[in-house]
Amino acid sequence: MKTFRFFAASLLLAPAFVRAAEVQPYHAKNRSQFAVQMDAHDPFWPVGYVHQDRPAGQKVAAVVELKASQFEVSSITMFGKERLAVINQKVFGVGEFVPVQISGQKTSVQVVAIGDGAVVLQFQDQRLQIPLRRDNLAKLTPADAAPTLASPALPVP
């Protein structure tokens, strides 16, 4: 009996499948388009990233000269593989970017290396070695090295 119901339902629904095959496929009246200009920024790239395959006719930034006077390295810490430097009163590690204002423009300079007594910074194709500021480590005279609080005199036996 179940087989009979299946065949009966198949015969009744067969014309519906035949009519479905006769229906024309749907064609959109207006197809959406996505056009990108050649100088547009790809939203999947990091901010500020310039792809190497771009044509040379793009905007070229003005040539900026880095100066050691724009940076002040006041401290360097090397603990194992961790190297940190205090540059312009902020702590930075290797690979981080130091914000700086050059010729009225805010830009970032990358910390390339931190060594014993100097930090190497890079901006575009320029590399600059900034020495550790040592003016706060003035040479002390023996009189300056004496303790400020005088210890009480001990009687000599």
pLDDT digits (tens, 9 = 90+) for 21-49: 577 777 778 877 777 776 677 777 777 77
Higher local confidence (pLDDT), 113 or 62: 113
Alpha carbons within 13 A on the beta-carbon side of 26: 4
Four-residue CA torsion sign, 136, 139, 144, 147: positive
Output the average pLDDT for the chain: 75
Domain 68-131 listed as CATH 2.30.30: yes
Inter-residue contact 111 to 119 (CB < 8 Å): yes
Strand partners, 79: 82
Cβ atoms within 10 Å of 122's Cβ, excluding its own: 14
Residue 17, phi then psi, degrees to nearest 5: -70, -35
pLDDT in tens, 38-94: 667 777 777 777 767 655 445 545 567 788 888 999 999 988 888 999 999 999 999
In percent, the amount of the chain with pLDDT more than 70 equals: 64
Q: What is the pTM of this model?
A: 0.48
d(CA 72, CA 121): 12
**Residue 156: both structure tokens together:** 């000599």
pLDDT at 126 over 90: no
112 band by pLDDT with thresholds 50, 70 and 90? very high
Percent with pLDDT over 90 in the chain: 21
* For the ranges 16-25, 43-52, 124-133, the one whose mean pLDDT is highest: 124-133
Give the pLDDT of residue 57.
47
